[in-house]
Structure 1
């Protein structure tokens, strides 16, 4: 009898250990209780451990094996949240609070006469090269988005920016890939319409139980949803779970495991996700590169964010005045170019703070390029 009890006790212990190491946690909106996709989880040292999937879940065992006391949860539309890792293990759900959004609008007389909307905002980009911080970039940019001719290209003027580089990480990339391969920080290349209206080939928008899903075959790859308060979100992952996309450029081979885009909007309907109501965009890519002769891929992860701070409607005549100022490339030059401490003014717009582990590396491991 005692033997049976001991065996049962051991099985119970093993079951609990398995539960704790493979437990799923769900991240939800604190107000609506809806699942949140695309929430990034960061360790104390700034390493990205994982992200929530299309149903707002992340498996603890799938997180990278990093020693961390706390987990930082970050999403473009919500205030960042730091939770002790020991508590996360026993919590079934993590609740995040929607961030307060403040967008200044320059008044005009008759908006129907406007040909473009100018979205001035703050951007920041992070690149991890071989699991090390390689670059951090942030700045202020203005996008000129056509309102009437949707086939017209979106233009932009780069106002100011900072570039921080970890030379150890970038040199490691050069040593492994050679001088003919290089990585340059770049900007988000906005389009004149939402990504929901320009889906990749083979993707389609369907509806199920009142919710719109983005599908590739029978697989859910994303969704379009609008809350009762008319806040909109588009989530799209270009790479199906458990698969990868391979690409080749000459002797370089690339493999992408995830390619997520999240757009958030204010005052929209499911049928009208207008770009002049855009609030924020985040794009992330997880994958790796290698030479054809190499056996293993070198991990590369990129995370790009854009937050609208101010919008203005202008006519074609005024747009023409800026043509000589429009940038010709989304790739940034090697050195920083800024005139103000714009990064100190982000709190009043409710922009999520940088995870502490990343912030602590600025000026330390990540050196500014003047």
Structure 2
């Protein structure tokens, strides 16, 4: 009887060690890293750490139920890290290295007293994943024109590469759900709007915690590092999804997270003029009919600033729509190899490999 109890205790201990809750922290410090994306070896987004840098029990179970042999951890202000699933199982604390920033690369022209538009030129990339498989990928060079009077934004794609995985079917022949494309900047990346929507609480280390006005629950952070600010905010979560029904479709919008970096250490200057990097992650469950099963769709959009200046006229003759998968591809040179932004990192190797092997460039 004693021998059986001993074996049972060992088994329980083993299960506990494997399924213990993981945390993601900054190397050489005790700071936990929120909203870290976790990708499998096949390039699909398994999930994210929460706003406290903790990998939830549900996400841990999801990781262990996959057949992946490695995991990749991605956050814009930290170096992308890849570890084997065996190391993950036996390492309760995952450590990430912060990117060393250099700000000389972005071209910034002097601000005139009077101007019509703020012009932001940059590199964008976007990927849409259907049922854990990359379906669409698009990247390119884009120009934003922001009106100084109304704050309205117009956008023009200069170059683009568009890829499609033709083996993946859409929800139905008549209904296509496609959100891969150039992102529109969420209003909450501006301090005045963020303050109106949420409560902001200053901590002892001069960082800011973002709290929901109704529930007082923590929704994100503003971190001060090396004279830059990093905004990380969970606007929609799976705990409180946004359900939309129209045209016989049901869409459960269950995750919307934004991440922005500013070339300023003053929270009042969190605006488009000081924006250096922007990223958003969206997650949906969609079904066509009530009896149908939900289809999971995830989309990631990124913008890396290359140039910023102030203009009185718009040179572009036509404009493009946000979140639109533009085709065919239209580009010159290898622009994606020369992205001069301090926060630019290559995509996880697993994701890049999957795109190369399974997605086809849409040509003219």
TM-score higher than 0.5 = yes
1:79 aligned partner: 79
Structure 2 match to 1:186:
181
Deviation for aligned residue 1:107: 5.4
Task: Give the aligned partner of residue 354 of structure 2.
Answer: 361
Q: Which moved more, 1:230-239 or 1:255-264?
A: 230-239
Q: What TM-score, normalized by structure 2, do the two folds share?
A: 0.87
Q: Distance in 2 between matches of 1:63 and 1:197?
A: 39
Q: Secondary structure at the match of 2:355?
A: coil
CA distance in 1, matches of 2:63, 2:129: 16
262-271 or 325-334: bigger deviation: 325-334
**Residue-by-residue CA offset, 1:203-239 (whole Å, 9 max, x unaligned):** 4223164433231522535234232523212222222
Shift in Å, 1:179: 1.3
Q: Which of 309, 314, 319 matches 2:310?
A: 314
Q: CA deviation at 1:200?
A: 11
Distance in 2 (CA, whole Å) between partners of 1:62 and 1:232 is: 32
> Contact 1:193–1:274 (CA<8 Å) still a contact in 2?
no
1:228-277 CA distance string (max 9 Å, x none): 52321222222245332210122111012211111122223223213222
User: Which runs of no fewer than 5 residues in structure 1 stay unpaired?
Assistant: none
Cα shift readout 1:149-168 (whole Å, capped 9, x = no counterpart)? 3x321222211011110011
Report the CA distance between 1:301 and its aligned residue.
0.9
Alignment of 1:201-216 (within 5 A): 203-207=197-201, 209-210=203-204, 211-216=208-213
Q: What is the CA–CA distance in structure 1 between the aligned matches of 2:259 and 2:244, rounded to whole Å?
A: 23
Distance in 2 (alpha carbons) for counterparts of 1:138 and 1:41: 21
Partner residue, 1:255: 252
* Change over 3 Å in CA distance of 1:244–1:190 after alignment to 2: closer
Distance 1:50 1:193 in 2: 23
SS in 1 for 2:55: strand
TM-aligned CA deviation for residue 56 of structure 1: 0.7
3-state DSSP of counterpart to 2:51? coil
| TM-score for both structures, normalised by structure 1 | 0.86
Deviates more, 1:100-109 or 1:228-237: 100-109
Aligned length: 356
Deviation (angstroms), 1:109: 4.9
Paired position in structure 1 for 2:5: 7
Listed one character per residue, the Cα deviations across residues 308-340 of structure 1 (whole Å, up to 9, x for unaligned) are 1232x2242xxx242524435542332111111
The alignment's C-alpha RMSD in Å is 2.7
Contact persistence 1:222–1:234 (CA under 8 A)? no
Q: 1:328 to 1:42 in 2, by over 3 A?
A: closer
Matched-pair contact (CA < 8 Å) for 2:22–2:92: yes
Does 1:117 find its partner at 2:110? no
**Residue 345 of structure 1, CA deviation:** 2.0
Q: CA deviation at 1:105?
A: 4.2
